[in-house]
Amino acid sequence: MHPENRSTSIFNVAVIVASLGYFVDIYDLLLFTIVRVPSLRELGVPQNEIDTGVGLLLINVQMVGMLIGGVLWGIVGDKRGRLSVLFGSILLYSVANIANGFVHSTGGYLVWRFIAGLGLAGELGAGITLVSEILPKEKRGYGTMIVATVGVSGAVAANFIAKLVQDWRICYFIGGGLGLALLVLRISVMESTMFAALKQSTASRGNFLALFTSRERFMKYLKCLLLGTPTWFVVGILVAFSNKFAMEMGVRDAISPGDAIAFTYTGLVLGDFSTGFISQLWRSRRKVMILFLLLTAAFVFLYFRMHGADKWTFYAVCFGLGFSVGFWAIFVTIAAESFGTNLRATVATTVPNFARGLLPLISALFTALQARFSYLHSGAIVAAVCIGVSLITAYSIEETFGKDLDYVEEV
């Protein structure tokens, strides 16, 4: 592979397009959380079903779509190319977004949230894979930092637009329109030269089962997956149920989960920028992961010490929590850098989706513990498990900074 085939600018069109694609991806993912209650209310779902029955089913259906989509898009990315995923995934979830704005029944909503989940699953992994392969190894951390930072800010935009527009159908149309507009930009993006060279070889590409046929390869894959556990514990448990935790701790003011999410994701934006930047300064992914996992432990400890606090102190800790788990860029970059070109898209696409998919297991553990412990103690125990597992993993994982990615896995 020749150096001249690579763009050396971290602001090249592939980085910009991958960043904007992930922005729209996160916009849609969080938009559903924001408009779930008003949309289901308008569709005639009883209040007691919005947070449990139908509401929970919609979340689970979307998650199933993302888990299936993670595998499918990963395989497509290694068999047909990174650009195939960048075009296909955004087209699918943009159409699904627009269709969500037209639904008039819970059945239709379920179908289109599943299809949206399928589409949403491919964006980040394909974008990180393409950027990692296009940029020189000394600069690719900056590229993936930009993708994650711009992308996660889509959550802040979704919260702002939902409050500004106050019509859940129009919010979905805006997301779909942004995605379709981005397809025009993607026409100018070139395929990775590493993948182009791979297509000329006889190496097996996109063999998902190959991740499980070698103990060494499986353990490496499992470690990549476990690194992301604390992010979804923080977002899916501590922040999603922040109103309940606040009541249990006697926080003086009522806490809005929507506002807690907004503060957390603002922290995430800065965290993703910081982890990417520091990893370049330190020339290490592993050390940054360990630092931010220790920060996560510190902010989780502060979170459980919010007894009698006011709401702004509580939201400030939510911001700190978001900052501390803002290692999503590093997490997916480590996954992409840990495997050969013939399995890279499969790994980088499945790992973040499977990490999200651990949330139901984390939730089940949290619920089961409440049979013997208090609500707060159950949360603290789950926090210790999630952060502890990730810290052990971060200590034992290989350093991937500056690793040459132009190789294939023998499968």
For residue 81, give the amino acid letter: G
Host H or E run for residue 354: helix 344-357
Q: Does residue 154 have a pLDDT over 50?
A: yes
Where does the pLDDT of residue 5 fall: very low under 50, low under 70, confident under 90, or very high at 90 and above? very low
Cα–Cα distances (Å) from 5 to 252, 262, 406, in that order, read 59, 41, 13
Q: Does residue 183 have a pLDDT over 50?
A: yes
Where does the pLDDT of residue 137 fall: very low under 50, low under 70, confident under 90, or very high at 90 and above? confident
- Give the pLDDT confidence score for residue 204 in this predicted structure: 87
DSSP string, 102-156: T--SHHHHHHHHHHHHHHHTTHHHHHHHHHHHHS-TTTHHHHHHHHHHHHHHHHH
- Give the pLDDT confidence score for residue 189 in this predicted structure: 81
pLDDT digits (tens, 9 = 90+) for 278-312: 999 999 999 999 999 999 999 999 999 999 999 99
d(CA 62, CA 136): 36
d(CA 296, CA 231): 9
Helical packing angle, 375-396 and 359-369, nearest 10°: 140
Among 198, 60, 217, 194, CA closest to 131: 194
d(CA 2, CA 208): 29
For residue 306, give the amino acid letter: M
d(CA 77, CA 91): 15
Q: Which of 331-340, 367-376, 402-411 has the lowest mean pLDDT?
A: 402-411
- Give the pLDDT confidence score for residue 256 in this predicted structure: 83
d(CA 260, CA 328): 19
Query: Angle CA(207)–CA(210)–CA(213) in degrees, nearest 5?
Result: 160
- Give the pLDDT confidence score for residue 57 in this predicted structure: 83
Cβ-proximal residues to 318 (8 Å cutoff; 6+ apart), any chain: 239, 242, 260, 263, 264, 267, 303
d(CA 172, CA 344): 32
- Give the pLDDT confidence score for residue 6 in this predicted structure: 47
Rounded mean pLDDT, 160-178: 92
Q: Does residue 400 have a pLDDT over 70?
A: yes
Contact 345, 205 (CB under 8 A): no
- Give the pLDDT confidence score for residue 4 in this predicted structure: 40
Q: Does residue 216 have a pLDDT over 90?
A: yes
Rounded mean pLDDT, 339-346: 93
Where does the pLDDT of residue 222 fall: very low under 50, low under 70, confident under 90, or very high at 90 and above? very high
The runs of H, that is alpha helices, within 240-310 are 242-248, 257-282, 286-303
pLDDT digits (tens, 9 = 90+) for 46-90: 877 776 678 778 888 888 899 999 999 999 999 999 989 988 998
Higher pLDDT: 252 or 47? It is: 252
DSSP string, 203-240: ---S-TTHHHHSHHHHHHHHHHHHTTHHHHHIIIIIIT
Q: Does residue 259 have a pLDDT over 90?
A: no
CATH 1.20.1250.20 for domain 8-194, yes or no, is: yes
**Most confident segment among 2-6, 32-36, 43-47, 113-117:** 113-117
- Give the pLDDT confidence score for residue 8 in this predicted structure: 61
| Architecture category of domain 209-411 in CATH | Up-down Bundle (1.20)
Place of tokens 């889509």: 154
Q: Does residue 3 have a pLDDT over 70?
A: no
Where does the pLDDT of residue 163 fall: very low under 50, low under 70, confident under 90, or very high at 90 and above? confident
Mean pLDDT estimate for the chain? 89
Rounded mean pLDDT, 190-219: 88
Range list for CATH 1.20.1250.20 in the chain: 8-194, 209-411
- Give the pLDDT confidence score for residue 2 in this predicted structure: 42
- Give the pLDDT confidence score for residue 59 in this predicted structure: 80
Q: Which of 5-9, 10-14, 261-265, 313-317 has the lowest mean pLDDT?
A: 5-9
- Is the pTM for the entire model greater than 0.85? yes
The DSSP letter of residue 189 is P
Higher pLDDT: 155 or 117? It is: 117
Place of tokens 């999603």: 240
Contact 55, 185 (CB under 8 A): no
